[in-house]
């Protein structure tokens, strides 16, 4: 007799297949139960309702996406790593379009899926590496917001565009436009005030216990102000 964990995964897998092959309308209690070889009460007992099941399908998608991200590894070039991370995100979305729409296409105001937070932490790490290398020209938070919004936005755009009408170079052009706006090539001169501030703020998390909460808050405020500094000619 299958244990509860195995049955739960079988139901999630069945719902994911129906979602990807036939769309959201095909994911009904009857269809999922039949595909998974279980009775409807089992589905309700494990997931409460269809919303609970779809949440589990989205979580499974995030888990696979994060596994792909972590398997990608890091190189000596932090900007190239960010570029490869963008490409992986877009490819995952196009390969798993129906599941991706569950993951990112149904936002709740003021709420982000816990697994999506893990994805943003990975993005933060990539951008902080760029900052530490002196190659970030905007604040870390600004860079994270720009990359995330642009990458999710272009993926959603490509998903909703009929396959024969998609421009395969569109995502690449947007990626390079965002990278040009937030990074620069390896500096050939001493970094400016803003760049020094961005790099220093990126490594503050490595100083746990060195500063009090009040000192860290003050330092963050001062560094944020310096990061937005534009020198006068």
In the prediction, which pLDDT does 86 show? 98
pLDDT over 70, % of the chain: 87
pTM summary value: 0.79
**Cα-based torsion angle of the residue sequence 183, 185, 191, 194 in order, rounded to the nearest 10 degrees:** -10
38-52, 69-83, 104-118, 192-206: least confident range: 192-206
- Which of these ranges, 4-13, 181-190, 202-211, has the smallest mean pLDDT? 202-211
- Directed axis angle between helix 40-47 and helix 50-71, to 10°? 60
**Residue 62's pLDDT band (boundaries 50, 70, 90)?**
very high
Residue 107 DSSP label? -
- pLDDT, mean of residues 158-173: 95
Residue 213, pLDDT > 80, answer: no
Burial call 190-206: b when 16+ CB within 10 Å, e when fewer: ebbebbbbbbbbbeeee
Per residue in 15-53, pLDDT (tens digit) is 999 999 998 899 999 999 999 999 999 999 999 999 999
Determine contact, residues 19/31, Cβ cutoff 8 Å.
no
Residues in the chain: 233
Q: Is the pLDDT of residue 160 over 90?
A: yes
Give the distance from CA 66 to its chain's centroid. 8
**Span 95-110, average pLDDT:** 87
Could you tell me if 159 and 94 are in contact, meaning their C-beta atoms sit under 8 angstroms apart? Answer: yes
| DSSP assignment of 104-168 | HSS-BTTB--HHHHHHHHHHHHHHHHHHHTT-B-S-HHHHHHHHHHHHHHHHHHHHHS-GGG--T
Q: For position 2, what pLDDT does the model report?
A: 65
Query: Mean of the per-residue pLDDT values for the chain?
Result: 87
What domains, with CATH codes, occur in the chain? 49-227 (1.10.357.10)
SS3 content of the chain, % helix, strand, coil (to 5): 75, 0, 25
Structure token digits, residue 177: 């436009």
Query: Who's near 222: CB < 8 A, 6+ residues apart?
Result: none
Tell me how far apart the alpha carbons of residues 144 and 44 are, in angstroms, rounded to a whole number: 38
The answer to whether residue 225 scores a pLDDT higher than 80 is no
Range 89-95 average pLDDT = 97
Predicted confidence at residue 233, as pLDDT, reads 39
Whole-number Cα distances in Å, 206 to 78, 99, 132, 214: 18, 36, 12, 17
């Amino acid at each position: 007799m299958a244990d509860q964990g195995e049955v739960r995964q079988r139901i999630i897998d069945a719902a994911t297949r129906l979602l990807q092959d036939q769309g959201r309308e095909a994911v009904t209690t009857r269809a999922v139960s039949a595909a998974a070889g279980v009775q409807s009460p089992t589905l309700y007992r494990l997931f409460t309702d269809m919303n609970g099941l779809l949440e589990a399908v989205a979580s499974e998608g995030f888990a696979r996406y994060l596994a792909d991200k972590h398997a990608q590894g890091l190189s000596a070039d932090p900007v190239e790593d960010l570029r490869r991370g963008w490409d992986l995100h877009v490819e995952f979305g196009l390969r798993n379009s129906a599941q991706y729409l569950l993951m990112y296409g149904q936002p709740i105001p003021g709420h982000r899926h816990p697994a999506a937070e893990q994805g943003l932490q990975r993005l933060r790490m990539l951008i902080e590496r760029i900052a530490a290398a002196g190659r970030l020209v905007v604040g870390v938070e600004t860079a994270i917001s720009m990359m995330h919004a642009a990458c999710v936005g272009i993926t959603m755009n490509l998903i909703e565009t009929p396959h024969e009408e998609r421009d395969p170079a569109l995502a690449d052009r947007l990626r390079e436009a965002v990278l040009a706006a937030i990074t620069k090539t390896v500096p050939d001169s001493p970094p400016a005030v803003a760049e020094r501030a961005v790099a220093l703020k990126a490594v503050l998390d490595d100083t746990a216990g060195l500063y009090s909460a009040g000192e860290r808050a003050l330092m963050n405020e001062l560094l944020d102000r310096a990061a937005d500094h534009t020198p006068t000619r």
